[in-house]
Amino acid sequence: MDMEVAEAKKSPGILEWITSTIGRILVSLFVPLLTFVVLWRVFIFLRDSNAPQGVIAVVAILWGVGGVLALFLVANLVIEQLPVEWRNRLTPFVFVGPALAILAWYLFVPVLRTFYLSLFNANSTEWVGLNNYVYAFTDRAMLQAFRNNLLWLVVGTAFCVGSGLLIAVLSDRTAPWFESVIKSLIFMPMAISLVGAGIIWLFVYSFRPAGASQIGILNAIITGLGLQPQAWLFLQPWNNFFLIIILVWLQTGYSMVILSSAIKGIPKELIEAGRIDGANEAQVFLGIMIPYIQGTIVTVSTTIAIFTLKIFDIVFTMTGGNFGTEVIANQFYVQMFRSNQTGRGAAIAIVLLIAVVPVMIYNLRQFSEQTEAF
């Protein structure tokens, strides 16, 4: 009898097995798998149904949201029945599992599929290996796109962050009502889509021959001063800077709001102590304020840098990549949807992903460090 008790103590029970690493992984995979299977079968049924499209759309939305919610509630009910120790171990896996599965399905799998397509020719019928990547790094249009993206990355990010920081510092010293008005006006362009911003600035840069009535604001101003109108979007390489101005107009408000919040978090005693020690305003700004909000500046800079690497809408709307304004994302669009070069388009998409991922990782690390500091 004593030997049987000892063997029972040595052999792990089913609950102990569930709480093991393998058991937790299986449970975390079971819930999202069950979610996808059930939801997928119902969506297939709805797709093949002859009901009106409006009814099918409403039912699909309700079923998608309600079905996921029901499965989460059932999973939570099961977890709540377990002892506290097992509950604490299983809960993160069950509730994070579906999110990880969705992330893998909509991000990881498409990336693998895109990389696979990048190894084939235009219509994906012949294996070409890395030839599409050789094209991506040697073609004249792609080299121009790399150069312009680097220009957007450096100049665009610097001016967005710099102008946002300057406005945040200056507005912090004004009356509260005036600060609110100024910040609202500067942040307002953030509500405009990139395509909408491109259309707006097309009218700003609009050009007509000398002697004709100028509908472009910029040319109307300079002709009013007695100067000749300019085709701003044709002037290489300055047209890239004219496009970057639109990015600065859009993103300065975002930079200003985030940096203004960081500046308001600086202890007043710290600034006053610096002034008492004889520091002038420039020394207070460079020696106290900038180091204190350095983490926020880095986070804002990396966020805007990612935005500039993926820039597409402004260039596509205003120049279509012509006149020396080509960027990587526009080249992807041209190769994939205009030239029907599926392999080249997939290779360019992978190159763009590789360019963005390091900045994203750095941004996440900075955010993690800031979170740990608090």
Q: What is the full DSSP assignment across 58-126?
A: HHHHHHHHHHHHHHHHHHHHHHHTS-HHHHHHHHHHHHHHHHHHHHIIIIIHHHHHHHHHTTB-TTS-S
For 57-91, write each residue's pLDDT tens digit: 787 777 777 777 777 777 777 677 667 777 777 77
Q: Between residues 93 and 245, which one has the greater pLDDT?
A: 245
Q: Are residues 283 and 170 in the same domain?
A: yes
Q: Are residues 168 and 293 in the same domain?
A: yes
pLDDT band at 373 (very low <50, low <70, confident <90, very high): low
**How far apart are the C-alpha atoms of 123 and 341, rounded to whole Å?**
7
**How far apart are the C-alpha atoms of 159 and 308, rounded to whole Å?**
12
pLDDT of residue 361: 82
Residue range 167-176: mean pLDDT, rounded: 85
Q: Are residues 80 and 153 in the same domain?
A: no
Q: Are residues 171 and 320 in the same domain?
A: yes
Q: Between residues 58 and 317, which one has the greater pLDDT?
A: 317
**How far apart are the C-alpha atoms of 229 and 257, rounded to whole Å?**
36
**How far apart are the C-alpha atoms of 200 and 191, rounded to whole Å?**
13
DSSP labels for 117-166?
Answer: HTTB-TTS-SB-TTHHHHHHHH-HHHHHHHHHHHHIIIIIHHHHHHHHHH
Least confident window among 19-33, 209-223, 231-245? 19-33
- Residue 165: C-alpha distances to residues 97, 128, 247, 294 (Å): 40, 49, 16, 11
Two structure tokens written together for 261:
């919040």
pTM over 0.85? The answer is: no
CATH number of the domain that 188 lies in?
1.10.3720.10
**39, part of any domain:** yes
pLDDT of residue 333: 92
**How far apart are the C-alpha atoms of 82 and 35, rounded to whole Å?**
22
**351, part of any domain:** yes
Q: How many CB atoms sit inside 10 A of residue 21's CB? A: 8
Q: Considering only CA atoms, give the Rg of the chain.
A: 28
Q: Are residues 206 and 293 in the same domain?
A: yes
**Domain boundary residue among 78, 93, 108?**
93
Q: Are residues 169 and 46 in the same domain?
A: no
**Domain boundary residue among 69, 93, 117?**
93
Q: Are residues 77 and 162 in the same domain?
A: no
**126, part of any domain:** no
pLDDT band at 18 (very low <50, low <70, confident <90, very high): low
Q: What is the percent of the chain with per-residue pLDDT over 90, rounded to a whole number?
A: 35
pLDDT of residue 44: 79
Q: Are residues 224 and 344 in the same domain?
A: yes
pLDDT of residue 81: 65
**102, part of any domain:** no
**Entry field: residues in the chain:** 374
**167, part of any domain:** yes
Respond yes or no on whether the N-terminal peptide bond of residue 237 is cis (omega within 30° of 0): yes
pLDDT of residue 134: 93
pLDDT at 3 over 70: no
Average pLDDT, the chain: 83
Q: Are residues 347 and 211 in the same domain?
A: yes
Residue range 222-230: mean pLDDT, rounded: 89
**105, part of any domain:** no
One-letter amino acid at 43 equals F
Q: Are residues 39 and 173 in the same domain?
A: no
Least confident window among 203-217, 241-255, 311-325? 203-217
**124, part of any domain:** no
**112, part of any domain:** no
Q: Between residues 216 and 34, which one has the greater pLDDT?
A: 216
One-letter amino acid at 181 equals V
pLDDT band at 107 (very low <50, low <70, confident <90, very high): confident
Q: Which domain holds residue 46?
A: 10-93
Domain count, the chain: 2
For 128-162, write each residue's pLDDT tens digit: 889 999 999 999 999 999 999 999 999 999 999 99
pLDDT at 12 over 60: no
pLDDT of residue 370: 64
**How far apart are the C-alpha atoms of 282 and 67, rounded to whole Å?**
59
